[in-house]
Amino acid sequence: MLEWFFLFGVCVMMAKIGMADGRSGLTWGILTFVLCLGTIFYIPFPLLRLGIPCGIGFLLMMFTNIGKNSDESLK
Average of per-residue pLDDT across 37-58: 83
Structure confidence at residue 74 (pLDDT): 56
% residues pLDDT > 70 (the chain): 89
Sign for the CA dihedral angle at 34, 38, 40, 46 comes to: negative
Helix then strand count (H, E) for the chain reads 3, 0
pTM of the model: 0.73
pLDDT averaged over the chain?
Answer: 81
Exposure string for 10-41, b = 16+ CB within 10 A, e = fewer: bbebbbebbeeeebebeebbebbbebbeebee
